[in-house]
Chains A and B, each alone.
Chain A
């Protein structure tokens, strides 16, 4: 039986003492997840906008697929990326397995459908509203997409933050392709899983507290953003 109050005490001690191992794990988590979200946004924002405004055969099928991919099981993504980058896989020559780059790839695959699907929805609503004005201006495709993305910016930041939430809390994919190697690929979620299995609750709890704090910070940022956008009548 664990001494849970004592574990909480140790966890707070780790947090306030600036334990280097703990903060190394936190910073790697943020680096991996933020990089994954940045790449997912670079893919998902224009792709979602194009899906919103372009009419082509099979469009509804693509939208259904993207929506379905939002619920991708992380372990399945991890397995897929593992098969692709393992030494016998098609990308094995890149030697990415058990590196932060592999974790970024896996998280990008998880987050990109979220950003794409939310962007598609937001931009489609806006495109409906702006349709006649923008067609009256004779605006081209590039101008159309950039106008819609810019005017939907507050809603799209919400989509990106939703992606950060998904990435930072994810464990299944990064543990398969990262391997949870100490000082190399150990992130908050994989460390929590490992330390809990070892019975070292202090580090697990400290990381858990930081994860919850990040979740609260993301939600607070979302609310502040909505408030600002509302005040400026930009939503």
Chain B
């Protein structure tokens, strides 16, 4: 039985163009290919992402979602194809305008506060600016009381909230999130979604991977569905959820087993 089509529970607000420097948008991937050990894991992906909409990437395991995010973020190099930010390849300035949160959060062997402090110092932020941002993100992640706790002693949900807080402390213009709420309880999921939504509203481009269709409906302005290393569907969230055009997207969004 397929899930009933749900309307988005929030309107997609028109977003003013991003005029900050360096220009980042549109983010374009053209003919993106990734081969590893003779296996084609990303297969001629073409994708254009604008500044405004919150983009959710969906698809079954092994579809290539995490690899696509790593390619866009510059953590791995494509075997073929190009990625352009406002028409030019990523340079250091463009790289530093981005941040990424991983599915398994990497928590340094330091306190919660020291994890955030470390990230901020890599960007040359110190003193009162550092203290202000630290306070803001700790409050948003509801981790103020755990500031001096070793980061690795936190629960899984708290660690993921710390990872999101640490990324947001950098005030990135683009934030990639790879299944940030997988295995989290509803309370932690709500905190992470609130942080992500607030960052989006404050002008951060969000590209988020999730398997959670309800979460995608809550957050997405536009949806990209991947299968076997290819993009099989992309478009406004309402349209994709209501009437997916491709067989794979239809099956995936209907909750059918897609292999």
Contacts and interface: CB of A to CB of B under 8 A. Distances in A.
Interface of A: 129-130, 132-133, 135-139, 143, 147, 150-152, 232-235
A230 B92 CA distance: 37
The CB with the most chain A CB atoms within 10 A, among B102, B110, B122, is that of B122
A83 B127 CA distance: 54
B122 A138 contact: yes
A147 B118 CA distance: 9
Nearest to A151: B109
B154 to A, nearest CB: 9
A133 B100 CA distance: 8
Interface string B70-86: 10010100000000000
Contact of A130 (B96, B106, B122): B106
A76 to B, nearest CB: 38
Contacts of A147: 108, 118
B95 interface: yes
A143 B122 contact: yes
A233 B153 contact: yes
Contacts of A151: 108-110
Contacts of A138: 92, 95-96, 122
A15 B142 CA distance: 58
B215 to A, nearest CB: 23
A235 B119 CA distance: 20
Contacts of A232: 150, 153
B152 interface: yes
A123 to B, nearest CB: 12
Nearest to B163: A133
Nearest to B100: A136
A137 B75 CA distance: 10
A135 B73 CA distance: 10
A235 B107 CA distance: 12
A132 B102 contact: yes
A232 B118 CA distance: 18
B95 to A, nearest CB: 5
A137 to B, nearest CB: 5
A138 B167 CA distance: 13
B99 interface: yes
B96 A129 contact: no
A130 B118 CA distance: 13
